[in-house]
Amino acid sequence: MNIVLLDPRQTESPIWTISAKRQLEHLRTHVNVQVGDTLKVGIREGKRYLTEVLSVTEQQIQLQPIHEETVPKKLPVTLIVAMPRPKVLRRLVMDSVTIGVEKIILLHSYRVDKSYWQTPFLQQLNQYIDLGLEQAGDTIAPKIEVYKRFKPFVEDILPTLIRADCPAYVAHPYVEMKMPAGIQQGCTVVIGPEGGFIPYEIDLLIKNGCQAVSLGNRIIRTETVIPYVLGRLFSH
């Protein structure tokens, strides 16, 4: 936890209060926070501050802001991912938030097990977003959208995300064109399910504006491919 996220309502008075059990436990047990220490605090969907600890009890920690700090910039990326296994979904959301993507779209496809959509993890996404934001020292959550029908999404929604200065790339192992590196503009990245998109899906993505690109001849796991792809695209 590199920042403590607070709801705007917790920061309406001059003295701010941390009262969430998870945050208190972490700060007291792992950080051993003491009166007079400084803490980085973010207001959800708002600004970030350096604060001073005024009091520490079992029920709450009280602080006052010292000065504003810069919120990390987002990567100008929309990440479209075929719905992964529940445990992978949790890691994927946390990592994508930590890396700083602007939007995450979860999509059904032929090789996605329908049971994945029943996972309680889908109802717990806000928890994983918070963990990702706290790790990154960020305050602004990415937008998350869910589409359970592949063809309508690709034909109706996907083209609205693509412009000349904002291309879309679908990772595909059997094409010549390599994934670009060190790009200067925003983009959309499409990642398939375990086992990959079926040929019909790849064809439909390409027909609707995606560029199929190769990551080399290795097949990379979903949870590994996202940091790899984004690191490559935005390496300068």
Q: Please tell me the predicted confidence (pLDDT) of residue 105.
A: 97
What architecture does CATH give domain 75-233? Answer: 3-Layer(aba) Sandwich (3.40)
Mean pLDDT value across residues 150-170: 96
Residue 178 buriedness (CB in 10 A; 0-12 / 13-18 / 19+):
exposed
Q: Please tell me the predicted confidence (pLDDT) of residue 57.
A: 93
Identify the CATH number of the domain defined by range 4-69.
2.40.240.20
How do 16-18 and 61-69 pair as beta strands? antiparallel
Mean pLDDT value across residues 181-208: 94
pLDDT digits (tens, 9 = 90+) for 46-58: 999 999 999 999 9
Q: List the one residue out of 95, 124, 96, 109 whose CA is nearest residue 189.
A: 96
User: What average pLDDT is seen over the chain?
Assistant: 93
Distance between CA atoms of residues 184 and 17, nearest Å: 41
Q: What is the DSSP letter of 122?
A: G
Residue 190 buriedness (CB in 10 A; 0-12 / 13-18 / 19+):
buried
Q: Is the predicted pLDDT of residue 220 greater than 90, yes or no? A: no
Using CA atoms, how far residue 4 sits from 31, 72, 110, 158, in Å, is 12, 15, 40, 35
Residue 13, C-beta contacts closer than 8 angstroms, at least 6 positions apart: none
Q: Is the predicted pLDDT of residue 218 greater than 80, yes or no? A: no
Q: Is the predicted pLDDT of residue 17 greater than 70, yes or no? A: yes
Domain boundaries for CATH 3.40.1280.10 within the chain? 75-233
Q: Is the predicted pLDDT of residue 62 greater than 70, yes or no? A: yes
Q: Is the predicted pLDDT of residue 216 greater than 80, yes or no? A: no
Domain boundaries for CATH 2.40.240.20 within the chain? 4-69
Q: Helix/strand/coil (H, E, C) string of 11-29?
A: HCCCCEEECCHHHHHHHHH
Query: How many whole angstroms from its chain centre is CA 222?
Result: 14
Contact of 78 with 105, CB cutoff 8 Å: yes
Q: Is the predicted pLDDT of residue 235 greater than 80, yes or no? A: no
Q: pLDDT-derived band of residue 236, with 50, 70 and 90 as boundaries?
A: low
Distance between CA atoms of residues 173 and 225, nearest Å: 12
| Lowest mean per-residue pLDDT among 38-42, 125-129, 201-205 | 125-129
